[in-house]
Amino acid sequence: MKAASCLDYRELARRRLPRFLFEYIDGGSYAEVTLRRNVADLEAIALRQRVLRDVSSIDLSAELFGQRHALPIGLGPIGLAGMNARRGEVQAARAAHSAGIPFCLSTVSACPLGEVAGASPSPIWFQLYMIRDRAFMRDLLAQARSAGCTALVFTVDMPVPGSRYRDYRSGLAGAPGLGGALRRFGQALGRPRWAWDVGICGRPHALGNVAPVLGKNSGLEDFFAWMRNNFDPSVTWKDLDFIRSEWAGPLIIKGVLDADDARAAADLGADGIVVSNHGGRQLDGVPSTARALPPIADAVGGRISILADGGVRSGLDVARMLALGADMALLGRAWAYALAGGGQAGVAHVIQLMEAELRVAMALTGARNLAELGRDSLVAE
């Protein structure tokens, strides 16, 4: 199958990954209402076609946090993404570098921060959760500084993990011990190409950044138990003081879905926010990002940088996010599918597809640069 779109890579990922990994990427929490809203609400937004506007020269570049990027697109943090291809986060970071866009590594990545940062020719971003063990957080932040990370993405919408039914059905979660391991092993044998390339040649599978605290308990069931037991539900806005005391660079608060929370982040000195519902993987039933973004942009636009994720499957979706008020769109499942379906080349291809689609969208809405892509580029509801 020759992939021509993000959804083609989703199909390739479904064919190539063991079921437990595909369902982890593809699924959301509970009945997956918000997961579906993210996609449906975004694609339902009508772009306003304009003509005879001289769009012979179009500038897609975006500046955030003092750095110029070739596109208003970034690769957002995805847990366990390194299991989608051999040392997968390394491949994705290299693809992002080649495209001139940022790559953000998850705290719960498969490949450790040092490996990914060392393999990427350009600096990466690092994503962090609030963890009960503050000493461990200090160590992670020290590693991020040492690795030259240029921004910290602090995720705040996961004080407790959401319940993802697909992970229980597939055996990724709720299947401890030998029984769960055998279920996953059987699924891996059904994907021999993945089993060889990732399962055998992609070792070690140490769940990178949390391996030092997991110790010998490094199985997937131990990993999920660690998340449940170590994410800190007592976190408040005051805890940003702790983050700021350990991190002097750009700080981006991820998981904002309410205008009041966006104002609080700006008031407390955050450099940016990510308007996000965790890809529909946390509280099911909340608004889509496309619905939440405009009032947030009205509240804090111009004060801090606004990034957004959730449902972005094409360059047209990127254009919609920017027109709604975002300064940059973060890809999540889009690059995870591409990594599983085609490795580094797949990720690079999806970025190229989105660039081409975004360029067409801007040309046909009469926008020659990102500053001209705004609410006037959308058909009023």
The residues annotated with a catalytic role in the active site are 278
**Residue 327 neighbours by CB distance under 10 Å:** 19
Is 48 annotated among the ligand-binding residues?
Answer: no
Residue whose entry in the numeric block shows the structure tokens 């030998």: 178
**Tokens standing for residue 37:** 């809203």
Q: How many CA atoms lie within 13 A of 107 on its CB side?
A: 23
> Is 208 within any annotated ligand binding site?
no
Task: Extract the tokens encoding 151.
Answer: 């921004």
Annotated binding-site residue? 164: yes
User: Is 313 marked within a binding site?
Assistant: yes
* Residue 276 in marked binding region: yes
How far apart CA 368 and CA 362 sit, in angstroms, is 7
On whether 310 is known to bind a ligand per the annotation, the reply is: yes
Residue 251 CB contacts under 8 Å (≥ 6 apart), including other chains: 151, 152, 154, 240, 243, 244, 269, 270, 271, 272
281 known member of a binding site: yes
DSSP letter at 110?
S
In angstroms, the CA 60 to CA 58 distance is 6
> Is residue 252 annotated as involved in ligand binding?
no
Please tell me whether 16 is known to bind a ligand: no
To the question of whether residue 168 is assigned a binding role by annotation, the answer is no
What six digits make up the tokens of 84? 């989608």
Helix (H, G, I), strand (E, B) or coil at 103: strand
309 is known to lie in a ligand binding site: yes
Binding residues: 24, 77-79, 106, 127, 129, 155, 164, 254, 276, 278, 281, 309-313, 332-333
Binding residues for FMN: 77-79, 106, 127, 155, 254, 276, 309-313, 332-333
Binding residues for glyoxylate: 24, 129, 164, 278, 281
